[in-house]
Amino acid sequence: MADTTGHPTDTEAPSGPDSTPRRSSWKHIGPGIVVAATGVGAGDLVATLIAGGNFGYTLLWAAVVGCLVKISLAEAAGRWHLATGRTLFDGWAGLGRWTGWFFVVYAVVWGFVYGAAAMSSSALPLQALFPGVMDLKAWAVACGLAGLVFVWFNRYAVFEKVMTVLVGVMFVVTVYLAVRVTPHLGQAFAGLLPVLPDGKDSVLNTLGLIGGVGGTITLAAYGYWVNAKGWTDTGWMKVMRLDNRVAYLTTGVFVVAMLFVGAELLHSANVAISSGDQGLIQLGDILADTYGRATSTFFLIGFFATSFTSLIGVWHGVSLMFADFVARTRDRAPAAEVASGARERSWPFRAYLLWLTFPPIVLLFQGQPFRLIILYGVLGAAFLPFLALTLLLLLNSSRTPAPWRNGPLSNTLLVLAGTLFLVLCVKQVLDQPWADFL
């Protein structure tokens, strides 16, 4: 018997002494909240706002499809961890050394540039909320150090609780704004029909919105958070699937709410905002002029929650992955070790935390090197095709116990995801100024 994703139910083929199926319950939800909070950053909200501002409700369907595609990737990553008792990096290593080289280069370059971007993103709303207290760079350094201290001294259980509180703030703020702008529900429902907007590059804009809904490397980190929660065998499969769906339902609410704001506040008034995090500061000013300073302040608090959850989420999740990479080089990568908390106390975990924090501070003051930014963009675009491809290879082979291999629906969604992200990757590569790079 299969569930709605085409996979076996949790009553089939339990493996191991502790694989008795757990009842799917809301009280277990946790890693999904973490991946939703981490995956939806300020950049995602701006991209959705701009889509709403440019096309109204026309691309609402694309935001929904984006959530479904990401559900398939995160579910596949979590299923690998639970079905095999091995971590995702352990699976990657079995596909060849090329996976390790890709991850190392990605983790070093991406982490270096992302650290500076995450700190700046968290600092922007604080500078707007407390003008004159510190300049942007000082706020950014403070955010980076706060994230470092928090993740260094706390284990997953505390990390999850803080992320849950911040997600609650994000949820209340985005839903409030969506209601405040009084969305046109008839047009919104019409936006669920798969129609491309008129204009140049409409297909690529649509694919970009689909691909930008909630997370890149955090989708791979989901399996590690599943293990850190204490879920290590197939008995937790049904719980994990509910948790994953909650993650992308939450993500969908954030994205749809911001698309409503873009459609009503920007599109109807023909107002444009900047791409990047600065666009949210502009939105704060527009909200202040339209609805008053209290609404703007409320929005800026939500903006900070959005940015800071992405910061500490990456600080924790990608550091877990890096620690697992180092452990795998020593032939030790069982999921149970992640569940025990040993990874969070290891020197590779803390070394990568330091890498995410201190070298990027230099970029805040000296500017980001041109060539490094190009490599960062290319590697970031290549990660999701890499993830989709490797999950297809792992979950359709004897590396995964037969009852937990991909079903037709899961394969279809992963192929769709891989194709989508490959197209976006090629576009990103072609758009880079390679002549200047060389």
And the tokens for 423? 């197209």
SS3 233: coil
pLDDT of amino acid 19: 59
User: Average pLDDT of the chain?
Assistant: 86
- pLDDT digits 0-9 by tens, 186-237: 888 888 888 888 766 677 778 777 776 656 788 899 999 999 999 999 999 9
In Å, the largest CA–CA distance within the chain is 62
Mean pLDDT, residues 366-392 taken together:
83
pLDDT score for 10: 41
Tens of pLDDT along 235-274? 999 999 999 988 888 888 888 898 999 999 888 777 777 7
Task: Examine the pLDDT at 16 and tell me if it is beyond 70.
Answer: no
Give pLDDT, residue 148.
97
**CA distances to 23, 74, 426 from 435, in Å:** 57, 37, 17
Q: What angle do CA 126, 128, 131 make, to 5 degrees?
A: 95
pLDDT (tens digit per residue) in 352-362: 999 999 999 99
- Nearest Cα neighbor of 283 from 293, 275, 273, 292 is 273
Contacts of residue 404, defined as CB under 8 A and 6 or more positions apart, other chains included, come to: 7, 8, 13, 79, 82, 83, 234, 237, 395
Least confident of 88-97, 301-310, 333-342, 416-425: 333-342
